[in-house]
């Protein structure tokens, strides 16, 4: 009988280790999503990731710009877009012009160039607010993951798979992981704000 109890306890611990790894993986994906959102916010310098969310209508379907062209930054104030298919040039130009980035693309028939003007103080403040919004969305996602994980642990305790102590330890671990990833988002937000405010 003791062997059976021992096997059940070992099985429960193995499940906890697996679920902790899943928790970390899921939470790190939320942090990565927040980072991708931060990358789309303008700073005073040209950056190819500003165009990451641009989709172009190409042969009837929305296609990510980076799948249609080579995007580079020849200098700190310019983004150059060289399409693989020159027939897509007008569609790319239109997608950039109608985006919420506020850029005016210059098309010379082969390459589209975007001049990235320095940010005004007002725009910098707006972009910092946007970065804070993205950070908050990331934290909400982390808190939702935490809530779901804690509910699973409580259910395991209720079903008798975990003791009260194991359940409490597991909930503490989940909270520590959540705090760790929230701090990670806060750190990335501070870095982004510093980039935006740098003149």
Q: Are strands 112-115 and 78-83 parallel, antiparallel or unpaired?
A: antiparallel
Same-domain check for residues 91 and 181: no
47, pLDDT greater than 90 = no
Q: Which of 69, 99, 115 is the last residue of a domain?
A: 115
Same-domain check for residues 88 and 135: no
Same-domain check for residues 84 and 148: no
Whichever domain contains 143, its CATH number is: 1.10.132.20
Count CA within 13 A, CB hemisphere, residue 184: 19
Q: Which of 115, 141, 167 is the last residue of a domain?
A: 115
| Structural domain containing residue 52 | 48-115
Same-domain check for residues 134 and 36: yes
Question: Measuring CA to CA, which residue among 62, 61, 20 is closest to residue 53?
Answer: 62
Whichever domain contains 92, its CATH number is: 3.30.1360.40
Domain count, the chain: 2
Same-domain check for residues 100 and 138: no
pLDDT digits (tens, 9 = 90+) for 65-108: 889 999 999 988 899 999 998 888 989 999 988 887 778 899 99
Across the range 180-185, mean pLDDT stands at 96
Cα–Cα distances (Å) from 198 to 74, 118, 191, in that order, read 21, 11, 11
Q: Which residues contact 183 (CB under 8 A, 6 or more apart)?
A: none
Same-domain check for residues 70 and 135: no
Burial degree of 170 (CB within 10 A; 0-12, 13-18, 19+)? buried
Which residue shows structure tokens 């707006």?
126
**What is the number of other CB atoms lying within 10 angstroms of the CB of residue 122?**
8
Specify which residues 107 forms β-bridges with: 112
Same-domain check for residues 127 and 59: no
Across the range 18-27, mean pLDDT stands at 81
98: helix, coil or strand? coil
Say if CB 15 and CB 21 are below 8 A apart. no
Say if CB 69 and CB 105 are below 8 A apart. no
Same-domain check for residues 26 and 12: yes
Same-domain check for residues 32 and 53: no
Same-domain check for residues 85 and 109: yes
pTM (predicted TM-score): 0.73
Q: Which of 115, 148, 171 is the last residue of a domain?
A: 115
19, pLDDT greater than 90 = no
Same-domain check for residues 125 and 34: yes
């Amino acid at each position: 009988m003791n062997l059976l109890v021992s096997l059940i306890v070992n099985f429960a611990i193995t499940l906890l280790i697996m679920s902790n790894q899943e928790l970390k993986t899921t939470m790190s994906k939320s942090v990565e999503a927040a980072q991708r959102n931060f990358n789309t916010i303008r700073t005073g310098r040209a950056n190819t990731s500003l165009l990451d969310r641009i989709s172009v209508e190409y042969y009837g379907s929305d296609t990510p710009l980076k799948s249609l062209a080579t995007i580079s930054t020849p200098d700190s104030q310019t983004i150059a877009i060289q399409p693989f298919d020159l027939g897509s040039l007008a569609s790319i130009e239109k997608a950039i012009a109608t985006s919420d980035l506020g850029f005016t693309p210059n098309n010379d028939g082969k390459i589209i160039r975007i001049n990235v003007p320095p940010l005004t103080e007002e725009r910098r403040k707006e972009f910092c607010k946007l970065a804070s919004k993205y950070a908050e969305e990331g934290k909400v996602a982390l808190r939702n993951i935490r809530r779901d994980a804690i509910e699973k642990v409580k259910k395991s305790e209720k079903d008798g798979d975990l003791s009260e102590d194991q359940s409490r330890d597991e909930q503490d671990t989940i909270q520590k992981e959540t705090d760790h990833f929230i701090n990670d988002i806060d750190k990335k937000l501070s870095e982004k704000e510093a980039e935006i405010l740098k003149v």
